[in-house]
Amino acid sequence: MDVADLHVRFGSVHAVRGVSYQLRRGETLGIVGESGSGKSVTSLAVMGLLPKTAMVTGQARFRGVELLEGSDKDMSAVRGKRIAMIFQDPMTSLDPVYKVGAQITETLKVHSPQLSHAQRRARALELLNIVGIPNAEQRIDNYPHEFSGGMRQRVVIAIAMANDPDIIIADEPTTALDVTVQATVLEAIKAAQHETGAALILITHDLGVIAGMADRVLVMYAGRAVEIGSVDDVFYRPRMPYTVGLLNSLPRMDTDDKLRLTPIKGSPPSLQHLPPGCPFSPRCPMYTVECSAAEPPLIEVDGHQPHLAACIHTDELRGQDRYEAGQVFGTDSSDADLPAELSAEADTGEPEADIEARDAERRRLEHLGTPSLMKAPFDPGRDREDGGTGR
């Protein structure tokens, strides 16, 4: 799929501003950015799921077919069959009064009418087993409320892969899930991608998820792409200060525990009143007066493979890894420089539960941030938070 110069407007709000990307067969493209950056709207526009009040321009070509010009009838033949979508809240994706098996077979009945009822049910059972639903033969006749959150999301994944789509779009599929369940849901998505051979667009706030699953990364800010490249280039050789800020606001497992996190100061700008020039300039520690002169275009910053960034200071970040580049945000500070009462070694009275939760989150980031997650065999029984009963 080729998306070129995609714009989406809701009245005076320019929600998506000239986004372009290519998606290759079997590839995983991660789209990251803060809330309101246009990640979800970009994919909803491609799927034809925006309200009629939205003004969409640009191109989105899928195997030579222009998606943005298709009627709702045309898009209905594409949605679910050629391009499938996994939304972040399974309870709004699943009908609460229909059994999950009926909801899986429904999409097969619409897009594969040649299948008999018995064939559709057999396929539904196969899909539930692939995504790791224990006791699928019994659970196929359960209602959504009889499943836990992680299990419900797996059912949604099964529906998405039912017709062997060419593209799966996962819009923050683990947002509403406990951290202990997220990894197994992501493994189910990877299993779905492997089973169908589909390309995957993964929209998320979680950079650890992107590190473990994506081949390429598209970073969005204020409605436009500000950096695009391979996961290695973007994570280890970022060329946009916003990307550097995102990466260095995460816990790191390979450094001294006393190293302080450095969040990006301020908030994203209003899309109705963008600042002059680069929209990140009010928050950027590398700001110079030239940043306000004009909004920088995406330019190629590395010659050996496509790596684009929208910043006039890319040369200043060249040759530095993410940790060296992160020093512009002040990450080269440790607790050794702090007053004793703020030192990590001081007794702050932090509740033990908070400490355990923080440590669990750090372990999760370490796990998701390594390729070993995708290499490990998929274990359907790992996520049995309801003991296989759903009650």
For the segment 360-376, what is each residue's pLDDT rounded down to a tens digit? 555 555 544 443 333 33
Higher-scoring residue by pLDDT: 184, 144: 144
Q: What's the pLDDT at 359?
A: 52
Phi, psi angle pair for 368, to nearest 5°: -70, -25
Q: Could you say which DSSP state residue 70 is in?
A: -
Nearest CA to 173 out of 88, 92, 89 is that of: 88
**Percent of the chain topping pLDDT 90:** 58
Average pLDDT of the residues in 55-84: 91
- The structural architecture, per CATH, of the domain 24-45+71-214 is 3-Layer(aba) Sandwich (3.40)
Strand ordering across the sheet containing 54-62: 13-22, 2-10, 54-62, 65-66
| CA–CA separation, 317 and 244 (whole Å) | 10
Q: What's the pLDDT at 88?
A: 85
For residue 184, CA distances in Å to 190, 200, 377 come to 10, 17, 11
Q: What's the pLDDT at 330?
A: 58
Q: What is the pLDDT of residues 266-322, one digit of tens each?
A: 899 999 999 999 999 999 999 999 999 999 999 998 766 689 999 999 888 876 655
Is the confidence at residue 221, as pLDDT, over 90?
yes
Is the confidence at residue 323, as pLDDT, over 70?
no
| CA–CA separation, 83 and 171 (whole Å) | 13
| CA–CA separation, 339 and 352 (whole Å) | 23
Both tokens of 256, joined, read 């001294």
Side chain identity at 50, as an amino acid letter? L
Q: Where are the domains of the chain?
A: 24-45+71-214, 238-305+314-327
Residue 330 CB neighbour total at 10 angstroms: 12
